[in-house]
């Protein structure tokens, strides 16, 4: 069903002159300074005469036009204040097409129509632009953006669980470079809940809270290479063993279970289950040798220690003096992350707003670190000895309309040394790239009281967004960028 987007939002950047509500009359005459571009000829004719014009998206005016410079193919792929405006091969996720389109059968229509105060593009022009995006937005030489150096290109993966979609972010530009459709059943939304790259960097995997498969994608081209059916379950978290050969997937159910997958053969090896054995199992971590699995019980005060080969299941209580319990609102351990070299496990407790630190081997709590409201996902910077903890519901004292924070724990002192308050809204996914000194944070923006999205998604729901933070300066690398519905899980290659 086609939809129409109306009005301005907190990120305020449609294609022509909307930044800071700075509307200018767009002239049709192309600026002579920008007649040499690397767009294909037919695309160049449209963009130079209707977009990269005086007062709009040319080299002289683009700062006041959402910071979107359309004077050349290269500057198009520098994006706008909202991030990528065209995504190669993905017309349904390219907001550029929404704002130039006025024909319901050609896709989503966003307002105001571009060019502002000018004649809308003809049907043939819109169809030509759409076909160009379908073909990958090639330049005059036939080159497609972001296709060079596929083996070494650093990137982040963000699962948009409301749309069965993964956004692939290029680390160098900070822009969405590709979108990948995930899931095996087109008749329903399968909710890609967790995405993880393998330790060897060759593949990434995704599991579904409303599906029955785990899918395997290559990281070089982000193409689906295999999938395995693991049966029905509320599949929440996928954990890949250090050798990249085995994956564990948790079923967040009252009588939960774990699927164990051979990743080379992509077959289901076994299922760990038993009546009343696992209650709402969620986050997982393995020992350094991969022989022992640790898993959180989402509700209560304990985690499970599992040795699959025996099999053996033990309960480790995280609160001294308490009996083991799976009743909610005690600690409610959400995620577990290990630093195997230091023999430490970190566990977020979403009910008590704490991080518990366990000493591996003896499996006892060594430290309890208070953090912000509703701590969830974590990422470890071994380079800096820092642990980053996303607190989804933390109030924001700097930007009161926004919600959520990242608490930074110094692992030398086991104390919070910094609280990052950007314009997050329900941040969830987090990942550190120690090579590039950047931190990625994805915000779900699922709450209807959150920031109104800039453009409409191709599926039902509210678009979220992501931030990229420079860890040398603690400043944003670029403005927050909008992506699709409910960006939940995040990992890097």
Q: What is the pLDDT of residues 58-109, one digit of tens each?
A: 777 676 667 788 888 999 999 898 899 999 999 999 999 999 999 999 998 8
- Please give the pLDDT value at position 62: 73
Class of domain 182-278: mainly beta
**Domain locations in the chain as residue ranges:** 4-134, 182-278
Residues 6+ apart with CB under 8 A from 293: 239, 248, 258, 284, 285, 286, 287, 304, 305, 306, 307, 308
pLDDT of 29 above 50: no
Question: Per-residue pLDDT averaged across 291-316, rounded?
Answer: 95
* 399/412 Cα distance (integer angstroms): 30
Range in 40-44, 110-114, 189-193, 227-231 with the lowest mean pLDDT: 110-114
Q: What is the 3-state secondary structure (H, E, C) of 100-131?
A: HCCCHHHCCEECCCCCCCCCCCCHHHHHHHHH
pLDDT of 21 above 50: no
Question: Mind listing the pLDDT tens digit for each residue in 235-248?
Answer: 999 999 999 999 99
Q: In whole angstroms, what separates CA 412 from the centre of its chain?
A: 29
Would you give the DSSP letter of residue 19? G
- Please give the pLDDT value at position 64: 64
Task: List the strands of the sheet with 312-317, edge to edge.
Answer: 281-286, 293-297, 302-307, 312-317
| Of 462 and 65, the one with more pLDDT | 462
pTM over 0.85: yes
pLDDT of 426 above 80: yes
* 207/196 Cα distance (integer angstroms): 9
pLDDT of 32 above 70: no
C-beta of residue 277 within 8 angstroms of C-beta of residue 251 = no
Strands 257-262 and 246-251: antiparallel
pLDDT of 183 above 90: yes
- Confidence bin at 348 (pLDDT 50/70/90): very high
């Amino acid at each position: 069903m086609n939809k129409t987007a109306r009005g301005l939002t907190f990120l305020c950047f449609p294609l022509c002159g909307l930044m800071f509500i700075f509307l200018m009359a767009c002239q049709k005459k192309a600026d002579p300074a920008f007649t040499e571009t690397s767009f294909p000829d037919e695309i160049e004719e449209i963009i130079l005469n209707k977009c990269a014009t005086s007062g709009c998206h040319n080299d002289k005016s683009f700062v006041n036009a959402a910071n979107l410079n359309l004077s050349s193919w290269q500057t198009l792929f520098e994006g706008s204040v909202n991030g990528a405006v065209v995504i190669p091969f993905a017309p349904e996720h390219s907001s550029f097409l929404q704002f130039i389109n006025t024909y319901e059968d050609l896709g989503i229509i966003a307002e105001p129509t571009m060019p502002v105060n000018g004649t809308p593009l003809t049907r043939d022009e819109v169809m030509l632009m759409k076909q160009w995006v379908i073909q990958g937005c090639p330049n005059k030489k036939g080159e497609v953006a972001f296709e060079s150096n596929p083996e070494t290109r650093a990137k982040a993966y963000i699962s948009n669980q409301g749309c069965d979609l993964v956004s692939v972010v290029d680390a160098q530009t900070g822009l969405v470079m590709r979108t990948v459709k995930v899931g095996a059943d087109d008749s329903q939304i399968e909710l890609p809940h967790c995405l993880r790259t393998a330790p060897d960097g060759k593949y990434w995997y995704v599991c579904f809270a409303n599906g029955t498969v785990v899918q395997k994608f290559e990281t070089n081209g982000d193409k689906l290479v295999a999938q395995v059916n693991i049966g029905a379950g509320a599949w929440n978290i996928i954990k890949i063993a250090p050798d990249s050969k085995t994956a564990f997937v948790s079923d967040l159910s009252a009588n939960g279970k774990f699927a164990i997958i051979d990743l080379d053969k992509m077959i289901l090896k076994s299922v760990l289950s038993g009546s009343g054995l696992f209650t709402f199992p969620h986050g997982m971590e393995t020992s350094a040798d991969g022989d022992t699995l640790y898993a959180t019980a989402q509700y209560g005060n304990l985690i499970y220690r599992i040795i699959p080969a025996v099999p053996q299941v033990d309960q480790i209580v995280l609160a001294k003096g308490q009996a083991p319990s799976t009743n909610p609102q005690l600690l409610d351990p959400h995620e577990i992350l290990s630093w195997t070299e230091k023999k430490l496990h970190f566990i977020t407790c979403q009910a008590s707003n704490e991080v518990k630190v366990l000493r591996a081997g003896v499996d006892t709590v060594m430290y309890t670190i208070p953090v912000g409201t509703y701590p969830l996902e974590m990422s470890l910077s071994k380079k800096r000895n820092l642990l980053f903890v996303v607190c989804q519901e933390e109030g924001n004292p700097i930007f009161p309309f926004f919600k959520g924070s990242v608490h930074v724990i110094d692992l030398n002192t086991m104390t919070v040394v910094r609280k990052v308050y950007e314009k997050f809204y329900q941040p969830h996914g987090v990942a550190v790239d120690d090579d590039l000194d950047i931190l990625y944070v994805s915000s779900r923006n699922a709450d209807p009281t959150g920031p109104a999205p800039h453009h409409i998604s191709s599926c039902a729901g509210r678009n979220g967004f992501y931030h990229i933070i420079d860890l040398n300066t603690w400043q944003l690398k670029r403005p927050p960028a909008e992506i699709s519905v409910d960006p939940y899980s995040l990992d890097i290659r």
